[in-house]
Chain A
Protein backbone atom coordinates (compact mmCIF):
# COMPACT_ATOMS: atom_id res chain seq x y z
CA UNK A 1 0.00 0.00 0.00
CA UNK A 2 2.03 2.96 -1.23
CA UNK A 3 1.52 6.42 0.21
CA UNK A 4 -1.10 7.12 2.82
CA UNK A 5 -4.35 5.15 2.74
CA UNK A 6 -7.62 7.01 3.11
CA UNK A 7 -9.42 6.79 6.47
CA UNK A 8 -11.86 4.39 4.88
CA UNK A 9 -9.10 2.15 3.55
CA UNK A 10 -7.39 2.25 6.91
CA UNK A 11 -10.54 1.20 8.75
CA UNK A 12 -10.96 -1.72 6.36
CA UNK A 13 -7.31 -2.67 6.78
CA UNK A 14 -7.61 -2.55 10.55
CA UNK A 15 -10.68 -4.78 10.50
CA UNK A 16 -8.94 -7.27 8.21
CA UNK A 17 -5.80 -7.39 10.36
CA UNK A 18 -7.92 -7.77 13.48
CA UNK A 19 -9.59 -10.88 12.07
CA UNK A 20 -6.31 -12.22 10.67
CA UNK A 21 -4.67 -11.99 14.09
CA UNK A 22 -7.33 -14.34 15.45
CA UNK A 23 -6.44 -17.02 12.88
CA UNK A 24 -3.85 -18.80 15.09
CA UNK A 25 -6.41 -19.11 17.87
CA UNK A 26 -9.09 -20.27 15.44
CA UNK A 27 -6.67 -22.85 14.04
CA UNK A 28 -5.99 -24.22 17.50
CA UNK A 29 -9.67 -24.32 18.39
CA UNK A 30 -10.47 -26.11 15.13
CA UNK A 31 -7.61 -28.55 15.67
CA UNK A 32 -8.63 -29.28 19.24
CA UNK A 33 -12.23 -29.86 18.21
CA UNK A 34 -11.25 -32.16 15.34
CA UNK A 35 -8.55 -34.04 17.21
CA UNK A 36 -5.90 -32.80 14.78
CA UNK A 37 -3.36 -31.55 17.31
CA UNK A 38 -1.46 -34.81 17.69
CA UNK A 39 -0.96 -37.01 20.72
CA UNK A 40 -0.39 -34.21 23.21
CA UNK A 41 -2.84 -31.45 22.25
CA UNK A 42 -2.40 -29.50 25.48
CA UNK A 43 1.32 -29.21 24.86
CA UNK A 44 0.66 -28.00 21.30
CA UNK A 45 -1.88 -25.43 22.52
CA UNK A 46 0.40 -24.12 25.28
CA UNK A 47 3.46 -23.92 23.03
CA UNK A 48 1.56 -22.37 20.13
CA UNK A 49 0.02 -19.67 22.30
CA UNK A 50 3.50 -18.94 23.65
CA UNK A 51 5.13 -18.69 20.24
CA UNK A 52 2.34 -16.44 18.97
CA UNK A 53 2.87 -14.16 21.97
CA UNK A 54 6.52 -13.89 20.97
CA UNK A 55 5.66 -13.42 17.30
CA UNK A 56 3.25 -10.57 18.07
CA UNK A 57 5.89 -8.93 20.27
CA UNK A 58 8.33 -9.07 17.38
CA UNK A 59 5.72 -7.81 14.91
CA UNK A 60 5.00 -4.89 17.26
CA UNK A 61 8.70 -4.10 17.48
CA UNK A 62 9.05 -4.36 13.71
CA UNK A 63 6.58 -1.54 13.06
CA UNK A 64 8.98 1.36 13.61
CA UNK A 65 11.89 -0.09 11.60
CA UNK A 66 9.49 -1.01 8.78
CA UNK A 67 8.07 2.50 8.81
CA UNK A 68 11.49 4.10 8.64
CA UNK A 69 12.87 1.79 6.00
CA UNK A 70 9.79 1.55 3.77
CA UNK A 71 8.11 4.84 4.54
CA UNK A 72 4.84 3.08 5.37
CA UNK A 73 3.80 5.46 8.10
CA UNK A 74 0.27 4.04 8.29
CA UNK A 75 1.78 0.91 9.86
CA UNK A 76 1.88 2.90 13.08
CA UNK A 77 -1.91 2.82 13.17
CA UNK A 78 -1.75 -0.97 13.58
CA UNK A 79 0.89 -1.09 16.28
CA UNK A 80 -1.43 -0.87 19.27
CA UNK A 81 -3.47 -3.77 17.94
CA UNK A 82 -0.37 -5.92 17.51
CA UNK A 83 0.75 -5.08 21.03
CA UNK A 84 -2.65 -5.93 22.47
CA UNK A 85 -2.66 -9.21 20.57
CA UNK A 86 0.70 -10.03 22.13
CA UNK A 87 -0.92 -9.45 25.51
CA UNK A 88 -4.01 -11.45 24.50
CA UNK A 89 -2.00 -14.51 23.42
CA UNK A 90 0.28 -14.12 26.45
CA UNK A 91 -2.75 -14.14 28.77
CA UNK A 92 -4.11 -17.29 27.10
CA UNK A 93 -0.66 -18.90 27.31
CA UNK A 94 -0.50 -18.14 31.03
CA UNK A 95 -4.06 -19.40 31.48
CA UNK A 96 -3.20 -22.81 29.98
CA UNK A 97 -0.34 -23.09 32.45
CA UNK A 98 -2.45 -22.06 35.47
CA UNK A 99 -5.39 -24.24 34.50
CA UNK A 100 -4.22 -27.23 32.49
CA UNK A 101 -0.71 -27.62 33.88
CA UNK A 102 -1.21 -26.70 37.53
CA UNK A 103 -4.99 -26.76 37.93
CA UNK A 104 -4.87 -23.60 40.08
CA UNK A 105 -2.62 -25.15 42.70
CA UNK A 106 -1.39 -21.73 43.86
CA UNK A 107 1.26 -23.13 46.18
CA UNK A 108 2.79 -25.17 43.39
CA UNK A 109 2.53 -22.20 41.03
CA UNK A 110 4.27 -19.87 43.48
CA UNK A 111 7.01 -22.45 43.99
CA UNK A 112 7.40 -22.85 40.24
CA UNK A 113 7.69 -19.10 39.68
CA UNK A 114 10.40 -18.78 42.32
CA UNK A 115 12.27 -22.00 41.58
CA UNK A 116 12.21 -22.38 37.80
CA UNK A 117 14.11 -19.64 36.00
CA UNK A 118 12.24 -20.16 32.73
CA UNK A 119 8.92 -19.71 34.51
CA UNK A 120 10.27 -16.75 36.50
CA UNK A 121 11.20 -14.83 33.36
CA UNK A 122 8.05 -15.83 31.51
CA UNK A 123 5.88 -14.71 34.38
CA UNK A 124 7.85 -11.47 34.74
CA UNK A 125 7.34 -10.75 31.05
CA UNK A 126 3.60 -11.18 31.45
CA UNK A 127 3.43 -8.99 34.56
CA UNK A 128 5.33 -6.26 32.71
CA UNK A 129 2.85 -6.47 29.83
CA UNK A 130 -0.13 -5.71 32.09
CA UNK A 131 0.56 -1.96 32.60
CA UNK A 132 1.23 -1.58 28.88
CA UNK A 133 -2.12 -3.14 28.02
CA UNK A 134 -3.87 -0.98 30.65
CA UNK A 135 -2.32 2.23 29.31
CA UNK A 136 -2.93 1.44 25.66
CA UNK A 137 -5.98 3.67 25.22
CA UNK A 138 -5.83 7.20 23.78
CA UNK A 139 -7.22 8.53 27.06
CA UNK A 140 -4.37 6.95 29.01
CA UNK A 141 -1.78 8.34 26.61
CA UNK A 142 -3.22 11.82 27.22
CA UNK A 143 -3.41 11.30 30.96
CA UNK A 144 0.17 10.13 31.25
CA UNK A 145 1.53 12.60 28.78
CA UNK A 146 3.41 11.44 25.71
CA UNK A 147 6.82 11.45 27.33
CA UNK A 148 5.91 9.42 30.40
CA UNK A 149 3.78 7.11 28.33
CA UNK A 150 6.69 6.46 26.02
CA UNK A 151 9.11 5.86 28.85
CA UNK A 152 6.71 3.30 30.32
CA UNK A 153 6.18 1.58 27.00
CA UNK A 154 9.88 1.19 26.39
CA UNK A 155 9.63 -1.77 28.78
CA UNK A 156 8.44 -3.72 25.75
CA UNK A 157 12.15 -4.17 24.92
CA UNK A 158 12.70 -5.92 28.26
CA UNK A 159 9.51 -7.92 27.82
CA UNK A 160 10.66 -9.26 24.46
CA UNK A 161 14.09 -10.16 25.86
CA UNK A 162 12.46 -12.01 28.76
CA UNK A 163 10.14 -13.76 26.33
CA UNK A 164 13.02 -15.07 24.24
CA UNK A 165 14.88 -16.12 27.37
CA UNK A 166 11.75 -17.96 28.56
CA UNK A 167 11.73 -19.94 25.31
CA UNK A 168 15.49 -20.53 25.34
CA UNK A 169 15.51 -21.97 28.85
CA UNK A 170 12.62 -24.31 28.37
CA UNK A 171 13.89 -26.29 25.39
CA UNK A 172 15.58 -29.54 26.23
CA UNK A 173 18.50 -29.45 23.87
CA UNK A 174 17.85 -28.20 20.35
CA UNK A 175 17.97 -24.38 20.58
CA UNK A 176 17.42 -23.74 16.85
CA UNK A 177 13.96 -22.20 17.29
CA UNK A 178 14.73 -19.88 20.24
CA UNK A 179 17.91 -18.86 18.44
CA UNK A 180 15.86 -17.68 15.45
CA UNK A 181 13.71 -15.53 17.73
CA UNK A 182 16.80 -14.21 19.53
CA UNK A 183 18.40 -13.19 16.22
CA UNK A 184 15.23 -11.46 15.01
CA UNK A 185 14.91 -9.59 18.30
CA UNK A 186 18.63 -8.76 18.21
CA UNK A 187 18.11 -7.25 14.77
CA UNK A 188 15.08 -5.21 15.84
CA UNK A 189 16.82 -3.86 18.94
CA UNK A 190 20.16 -3.48 17.18
CA UNK A 191 18.78 -1.27 14.44
CA UNK A 192 17.29 1.01 17.12
CA UNK A 193 20.61 1.22 18.94
CA UNK A 194 22.35 2.06 15.70
CA UNK A 195 19.84 4.78 14.83
CA UNK A 196 20.15 6.23 18.30
CA UNK A 197 23.95 6.31 18.10
CA UNK A 198 23.82 7.92 14.67
CA UNK A 199 21.32 10.51 15.83
CA UNK A 200 23.49 11.44 18.82
CA UNK A 201 26.52 11.83 16.58
CA UNK A 202 24.60 14.00 14.19
CA UNK A 203 23.43 16.24 17.01
CA UNK A 204 26.95 16.51 18.41
CA UNK A 205 28.31 17.45 15.03
CA UNK A 206 25.61 20.04 14.59
CA UNK A 207 26.37 21.40 18.04
CA UNK A 208 22.79 20.99 19.25
CA UNK A 209 21.76 20.01 22.72
CA UNK A 210 20.48 16.45 22.45
CA UNK A 211 16.71 16.49 22.19
CA UNK A 212 15.07 13.80 24.27
CA UNK A 213 11.44 14.50 23.65
CA UNK A 214 9.73 12.59 20.91
CA UNK A 215 6.06 12.06 20.40
CA UNK A 216 4.68 8.66 21.35
CA UNK A 217 4.11 7.92 17.72
CA UNK A 218 7.70 8.16 16.59
CA UNK A 219 9.36 5.55 18.75
Chain B
Protein backbone atom coordinates (compact mmCIF):
# COMPACT_ATOMS: atom_id res chain seq x y z
CA UNK B 1 0.00 0.00 0.00
CA UNK B 2 1.25 3.44 -0.90
CA UNK B 3 1.10 5.97 1.86
CA UNK B 4 1.61 9.49 0.64
CA UNK B 5 3.91 11.58 2.75
CA UNK B 6 4.84 15.18 2.77
CA UNK B 7 8.07 15.06 4.62
CA UNK B 8 9.09 18.59 5.40
CA UNK B 9 6.56 19.91 7.87
CA UNK B 10 3.59 18.58 9.83
CA UNK B 11 0.30 20.15 8.79
CA UNK B 12 -0.51 21.33 12.28
CA UNK B 13 2.25 23.86 11.90
CA UNK B 14 0.97 25.10 8.58
CA UNK B 15 -2.57 25.67 9.70
CA UNK B 16 -2.82 29.27 10.75
CA UNK B 17 -4.38 28.91 14.14
CA UNK B 18 -3.61 32.50 15.16
CA UNK B 19 -5.67 33.61 12.20
CA UNK B 20 -8.75 31.98 13.64
CA UNK B 21 -8.17 33.68 16.95
CA UNK B 22 -7.72 37.04 15.33
CA UNK B 23 -10.95 36.46 13.46
CA UNK B 24 -12.71 35.78 16.71
CA UNK B 25 -11.43 39.04 18.15
CA UNK B 26 -12.59 40.80 15.03
CA UNK B 27 -16.09 39.39 15.40
CA UNK B 28 -16.12 40.26 19.08
CA UNK B 29 -15.11 43.81 18.25
CA UNK B 30 -18.15 44.03 16.03
CA UNK B 31 -20.38 42.89 18.87
CA UNK B 32 -20.95 39.40 17.58
CA UNK B 33 -20.82 38.12 21.12
CA UNK B 34 -24.20 39.59 21.92
CA UNK B 35 -25.84 38.22 18.78
CA UNK B 36 -24.23 34.82 19.20
CA UNK B 37 -25.38 34.90 22.82
CA UNK B 38 -28.90 35.69 21.74
CA UNK B 39 -28.77 32.74 19.38
CA UNK B 40 -27.66 30.51 22.20
CA UNK B 41 -24.08 30.14 21.06
CA UNK B 42 -21.03 30.29 23.23
CA UNK B 43 -18.17 32.60 22.58
CA UNK B 44 -16.17 29.49 21.80
CA UNK B 45 -13.24 30.27 24.00
CA UNK B 46 -10.81 27.51 23.22
CA UNK B 47 -8.04 27.25 25.70
CA UNK B 48 -4.50 27.12 24.43
CA UNK B 49 -2.69 23.96 25.42
CA UNK B 50 1.01 23.39 25.83
CA UNK B 51 2.83 22.24 22.71
CA UNK B 52 3.92 18.62 22.65
CA UNK B 53 7.53 17.91 21.78
CA UNK B 54 9.06 15.34 19.45
CA UNK B 55 6.02 14.55 17.32
CA UNK B 56 6.69 12.29 14.35
CA UNK B 57 4.52 11.83 11.33
CA UNK B 58 2.49 8.66 11.73
CA UNK B 59 1.00 6.35 9.10
CA UNK B 60 -2.57 6.22 7.72
CA UNK B 61 -2.77 9.97 7.28
CA UNK B 62 -5.20 11.59 4.86
CA UNK B 63 -4.45 14.38 2.41
CA UNK B 64 -7.78 15.98 3.16
CA UNK B 65 -7.72 19.44 4.64
CA UNK B 66 -7.85 19.36 8.44
CA UNK B 67 -10.82 21.05 10.06
CA UNK B 68 -9.86 24.31 11.77
CA UNK B 69 -8.59 24.22 15.34
CA UNK B 70 -11.44 26.50 16.32
CA UNK B 71 -14.14 24.19 14.94
CA UNK B 72 -12.54 21.05 16.40
CA UNK B 73 -12.39 22.66 19.84
CA UNK B 74 -15.77 24.42 19.96
CA UNK B 75 -18.12 21.86 18.39
CA UNK B 76 -18.00 18.87 20.70
CA UNK B 77 -20.12 16.08 22.03
CA UNK B 78 -19.05 15.55 25.63
CA UNK B 79 -22.31 14.99 27.48
CA UNK B 80 -20.64 15.22 30.89
CA UNK B 81 -20.53 18.95 30.18
CA UNK B 82 -23.99 19.30 28.64
CA UNK B 83 -25.75 17.92 25.62
CA UNK B 84 -25.37 20.81 23.23
CA UNK B 85 -22.30 21.11 21.06
CA UNK B 86 -21.06 24.38 22.45
CA UNK B 87 -21.29 23.57 26.18
CA UNK B 88 -18.12 21.44 26.46
CA UNK B 89 -15.90 24.29 25.25
CA UNK B 90 -17.51 26.59 27.81
CA UNK B 91 -17.62 24.25 30.77
CA UNK B 92 -14.89 21.64 30.43
CA UNK B 93 -12.29 24.04 31.81
CA UNK B 94 -13.43 23.07 35.31
CA UNK B 95 -12.19 19.51 34.89
CA UNK B 96 -8.83 18.96 36.60
CA UNK B 97 -6.46 17.01 34.37
CA UNK B 98 -3.43 17.30 36.65
CA UNK B 99 -2.67 14.99 38.37
CA UNK B 100 -4.20 12.23 36.25
CA UNK B 101 -3.90 8.50 36.43
CA UNK B 102 -5.33 5.70 34.36
CA UNK B 103 -5.80 2.21 35.78
CA UNK B 104 -5.24 -0.63 33.33
CA UNK B 105 -6.65 -3.78 34.86
CA UNK B 106 -8.84 -6.84 34.48
CA UNK B 107 -7.68 -9.91 32.59
CA UNK B 108 -4.00 -8.94 32.43
CA UNK B 109 -0.76 -10.33 33.86
CA UNK B 110 0.48 -7.00 35.17
CA UNK B 111 -2.31 -4.64 36.18
CA UNK B 112 -0.94 -1.16 36.67
CA UNK B 113 -1.99 2.42 37.27
CA UNK B 114 -0.13 4.84 35.03
CA UNK B 115 0.38 8.50 35.79
CA UNK B 116 -0.26 10.54 32.67
CA UNK B 117 3.42 11.54 32.57
CA UNK B 118 4.36 7.86 32.34
CA UNK B 119 1.80 7.18 29.61
CA UNK B 120 3.47 9.86 27.52
CA UNK B 121 6.79 8.03 27.80
CA UNK B 122 5.49 4.67 26.57
CA UNK B 123 5.99 5.39 22.87
CA UNK B 124 7.03 8.17 20.51
CA UNK B 125 4.22 10.61 19.80
CA UNK B 126 2.86 10.53 16.25
CA UNK B 127 0.65 12.89 14.35
CA UNK B 128 -2.24 11.00 12.77
CA UNK B 129 -4.61 12.94 10.54
CA UNK B 130 -7.85 10.99 10.74
CA UNK B 131 -11.38 11.51 9.53
CA UNK B 132 -13.94 11.60 12.34
CA UNK B 133 -17.54 10.70 11.50
CA UNK B 134 -20.16 11.43 14.14
CA UNK B 135 -23.24 9.22 14.33
CA UNK B 136 -25.28 12.42 14.01
CA UNK B 137 -24.21 12.90 10.41
CA UNK B 138 -21.32 15.38 10.52
CA UNK B 139 -17.62 14.84 10.10
CA UNK B 140 -14.23 16.47 10.61
CA UNK B 141 -10.59 15.84 9.75
CA UNK B 142 -8.47 15.98 12.90
CA UNK B 143 -4.68 15.99 13.29
CA UNK B 144 -4.46 13.91 16.43
CA UNK B 145 -1.29 13.38 18.43
CA UNK B 146 -0.82 10.09 20.23
CA UNK B 147 0.36 6.54 19.77
CA UNK B 148 -1.25 3.18 19.08
CA UNK B 149 -3.28 1.88 22.02
CA UNK B 150 -1.47 -1.41 21.52
CA UNK B 151 1.68 0.08 23.09
CA UNK B 152 -0.15 0.62 26.36
CA UNK B 153 -1.96 -2.72 26.32
CA UNK B 154 1.30 -4.62 25.73
CA UNK B 155 2.66 -3.11 28.95
CA UNK B 156 0.10 -4.95 31.06
CA UNK B 157 0.26 -8.22 29.10
CA UNK B 158 -3.34 -9.26 28.38
CA UNK B 159 -4.28 -12.80 29.40
CA UNK B 160 -5.34 -15.31 26.78
CA UNK B 161 -8.87 -15.12 28.16
CA UNK B 162 -9.16 -11.36 27.50
CA UNK B 163 -11.48 -10.75 24.55
CA UNK B 164 -12.74 -7.20 25.04
CA UNK B 165 -11.51 -3.86 26.37
CA UNK B 166 -13.60 -1.38 28.33
CA UNK B 167 -12.85 2.34 28.54
CA UNK B 168 -14.18 4.40 31.43
CA UNK B 169 -14.46 8.17 31.30
CA UNK B 170 -13.93 10.25 34.44
CA UNK B 171 -17.08 10.66 36.51
CA UNK B 172 -16.80 13.79 38.64
CA UNK B 173 -20.10 15.50 39.48
CA UNK B 174 -18.19 18.45 40.97
CA UNK B 175 -16.60 19.46 37.69
CA UNK B 176 -19.06 17.85 35.27
CA UNK B 177 -22.45 19.60 35.38
CA UNK B 178 -23.90 17.27 32.73
CA UNK B 179 -23.79 14.14 34.91
CA UNK B 180 -26.45 15.58 37.22
CA UNK B 181 -29.00 14.70 34.57
CA UNK B 182 -29.57 11.00 33.88
CA UNK B 183 -29.19 11.49 30.14
CA UNK B 184 -26.81 8.52 30.08
CA UNK B 185 -26.03 5.90 32.68
CA UNK B 186 -22.85 7.47 34.07
CA UNK B 187 -19.97 6.92 34.06
CA UNK B 188 -19.51 6.83 30.29
CA UNK B 189 -18.25 3.41 29.27
CA UNK B 190 -17.16 2.39 25.80
CA UNK B 191 -15.66 -0.84 24.51
CA UNK B 192 -13.81 -2.60 21.74
CA UNK B 193 -13.05 -6.17 20.83
CA UNK B 194 -9.43 -6.90 21.78
CA UNK B 195 -8.37 -7.29 18.13
CA UNK B 196 -9.94 -3.90 17.36
CA UNK B 197 -8.13 -2.39 20.32
CA UNK B 198 -4.81 -3.82 19.13
CA UNK B 199 -5.29 -2.64 15.54
CA UNK B 200 -2.57 -0.22 14.44
CA UNK B 201 -5.19 2.43 13.53
CA UNK B 202 -6.57 2.53 17.07
CA UNK B 203 -5.02 5.54 18.72
CA UNK B 204 -4.55 6.67 22.28
CA UNK B 205 -4.62 10.41 21.70
CA UNK B 206 -3.05 13.00 23.99
CA UNK B 207 -3.12 16.01 21.69
CA UNK B 208 -4.32 17.65 18.51
CA UNK B 209 -2.74 20.22 16.23
CA UNK B 210 0.56 19.58 18.00
CA UNK B 211 -0.78 20.69 21.39
CA UNK B 212 -2.07 18.93 24.48
CA UNK B 213 -5.74 18.00 24.12
CA UNK B 214 -8.12 20.74 25.20
CA UNK B 215 -10.41 19.47 27.97
CA UNK B 216 -13.48 19.53 25.72
CA UNK B 217 -11.75 17.11 23.36
CA UNK B 218 -11.10 14.57 26.11
CA UNK B 219 -7.95 15.67 27.95
CA UNK B 220 -5.61 14.33 28.94
CA UNK B 221 -6.12 10.98 27.29
CA UNK B 222 -8.73 9.67 24.90
CA UNK B 223 -9.47 6.90 22.47
CA UNK B 224 -9.68 7.46 18.70
CA UNK B 225 -11.10 4.69 16.50
CA UNK B 226 -11.41 6.32 13.08
CA UNK B 227 -13.50 3.65 11.35
CA UNK B 228 -16.21 3.80 14.02
CA UNK B 229 -18.69 6.53 14.89
CA UNK B 230 -17.16 9.24 17.05
CA UNK B 231 -18.93 8.26 20.27
CA UNK B 232 -16.83 5.08 20.42
CA UNK B 233 -13.82 7.27 21.23
CA UNK B 234 -14.10 7.53 25.01
CA UNK B 235 -12.74 10.80 26.38
CA UNK B 236 -10.80 11.65 29.57
CA UNK B 237 -10.11 7.99 30.33
CA UNK B 238 -9.45 6.93 33.94
CA UNK B 239 -9.84 3.20 33.61
CA UNK B 240 -9.16 0.55 30.98
CA UNK B 241 -10.40 -2.92 31.81
CA UNK B 242 -9.84 -6.12 29.86
CA UNK B 243 -12.70 -8.61 30.06
CA UNK B 244 -14.00 -11.81 28.54
CA UNK B 245 -17.52 -10.43 28.14
CA UNK B 246 -18.71 -7.89 25.62
CA UNK B 247 -18.91 -4.56 27.48
CA UNK B 248 -22.27 -2.90 27.86
CA UNK B 249 -21.60 0.61 26.66
CA UNK B 250 -23.34 3.78 27.78
CA UNK B 251 -25.04 4.31 24.42
CA UNK B 252 -26.14 0.67 24.16
CA UNK B 253 -27.80 1.01 27.55
CA UNK B 254 -29.39 4.31 26.56
CA UNK B 255 -30.90 3.06 23.31
CA UNK B 256 -30.06 -0.54 22.38
CA UNK B 257 -31.99 -0.42 19.10
CA UNK B 258 -30.06 2.59 17.87
CA UNK B 259 -26.51 2.10 19.08
CA UNK B 260 -24.78 -1.25 18.78
CA UNK B 261 -21.52 -2.47 20.24
CA UNK B 262 -19.65 -2.26 16.92
CA UNK B 263 -20.94 1.06 15.58
CA UNK B 264 -18.71 0.87 12.53
CA UNK B 265 -19.27 3.71 10.09
CA UNK B 266 -21.55 2.18 7.47
CA UNK B 267 -23.49 4.18 4.88
CA UNK B 268 -25.74 1.18 4.20
CA UNK B 269 -26.95 0.67 7.74
CA UNK B 270 -29.09 3.62 8.76
CA UNK B 271 -29.69 4.88 12.24
CA UNK B 272 -33.32 3.90 12.89
CA UNK B 273 -34.28 7.57 12.82
CA UNK B 274 -31.99 9.02 10.16
CA UNK B 275 -29.91 8.04 7.15
CA UNK B 276 -26.18 7.42 7.44
CA UNK B 277 -25.58 7.59 3.68
CA UNK B 278 -24.28 11.15 3.74
CA UNK B 279 -22.51 13.50 6.12
CA UNK B 280 -21.79 17.19 6.42
CA UNK B 281 -18.07 17.84 6.66
CA UNK B 282 -17.70 20.76 9.03
CA UNK B 283 -16.71 23.79 6.97
CA UNK B 284 -18.39 22.52 3.80
CA UNK B 285 -21.70 23.70 2.40
CA UNK B 286 -23.19 20.57 0.90
CA UNK B 287 -23.19 17.04 2.24
CA UNK B 288 -20.81 14.37 0.99
CA UNK B 289 -21.19 10.62 0.72
CA UNK B 290 -20.20 8.60 3.75
CA UNK B 291 -17.57 5.94 3.09
CA UNK B 292 -17.71 2.34 4.33
CA UNK B 293 -15.65 2.08 7.53
CA UNK B 294 -15.17 5.85 7.12
CA UNK B 295 -12.72 5.13 4.31
CA UNK B 296 -10.55 2.76 6.36
CA UNK B 297 -11.91 -0.44 4.82
CA UNK B 298 -8.52 -1.48 3.41
CA UNK B 299 -7.15 -1.57 6.92
CA UNK B 300 -10.07 -2.92 8.95
CA UNK B 301 -12.60 -4.79 6.77
CA UNK B 302 -10.82 -8.07 7.50
CA UNK B 303 -11.73 -7.73 11.19
CA UNK B 304 -15.34 -8.35 10.26
CA UNK B 305 -15.07 -11.06 7.62
CA UNK B 306 -18.20 -13.20 7.56
CA UNK B 307 -20.11 -10.96 9.96
CA UNK B 308 -23.56 -9.62 9.11
CA UNK B 309 -22.95 -5.90 9.66
CA UNK B 310 -26.68 -5.21 9.79
CA UNK B 311 -27.00 -7.53 12.73
CA UNK B 312 -23.76 -6.45 14.38
CA UNK B 313 -24.27 -2.71 13.88
Contacts and interface: CB of A to CB of B under 8 A. Distances in A.
Interface in B29-67: 30, 32, 35-36, 38-39, 41, 44, 67
A118 B283 CA distance: 26
B86 A38 contact: yes
B138 A27 contact: no
A39 B237 CA distance: 26
B254 interface: yes
Which residue, of B35, B36, B39, B285, has the highest number of chain A Cβ atoms within 10 A? B39
A34 B27 contact: yes
Contacts of B38: 27
B39 A169 contact: no
Contacts of B181: 174, 176
Does more than half of chain A's interface fall in helix, strand or loop, or is it mixed?
A: helix
Given A40-B280, A173-B254, A101 B287 contact: yes
A172 interface: yes
A44 B280 CA distance: 13
B36 A31 contact: yes
Given A100-B285, A112-B275, A173-B255, A27 B83 contact: no
Contacts of A39: 67, 70-71, 74-75, 85, 282-283
Contacts of A108: 275
Contacts of A173: 79, 83, 183-184, 254-255
A43 B83 CA distance: 15
Interface residues of A, number: 29
Contact of A174 (B30, B36, B183, B274): B183
A174 B83 contact: yes
Nearest to B71: A39
Interface in A77-102: 100-101
Given A169-B273, A174-B183, A42 B285 contact: yes
B304 interface: no
Contact of B282 (A40, A116, A118): A40
Contacts of A18: none
Contacts of B74: 38-39
Residue of A36, A44, A169, A170 ringed by the most chain B CB atoms within 10 A: A36
Contact of B273 (A44, A103, A170): A170
Nearest to A47: B40
Contacts of B39: 27-28, 31, 36-37, 44, 48
B137 to A, nearest CB: 9
A51 to B, nearest CB: 9
B36 A36 contact: yes
Does more than half of chain B's interface fall in helix, strand or loop, or is it mixed?
Answer: loop
Interface string B10-40: 0000000000000100010010100110110
A36 B275 contact: no
Contacts of B27: 34-36
B157 interface: no
Nearest to A172: B136
Interface in A14-61: 27-28, 30-31, 34-40, 42-44, 48
A117 B273 contact: yes
A176 B183 CA distance: 10
B89 to A, nearest CB: 10
B131 to A, nearest CB: 16
A36 B273 contact: no
Nearest to B277: A108
B285 A36 contact: no
B76 to A, nearest CB: 9
Contacts of B255: 173
Interface string A147-161: 000000000000000
Given A103-B286, A173-B254, A174-B183, A36 B35 contact: yes
Contacts of B282: 39-40
Nearest to B178: A174
Interface of A: 27-28, 30-31, 34-40, 42-44, 48, 100-101, 103, 108, 112, 116-118, 169-170, 172-174, 176
Q: List the 5 closest A-B pairs by CB distance, nearest first.
A: A39-B75, A39-B71, A174-B83, A36-B32, A36-B36
Given A27-B39, A39-B67, 8 more contacts: A31-B35, A38-B75, A42-B285, A43-B138, A170-B273, A172-B136, A173-B79, A173-B83
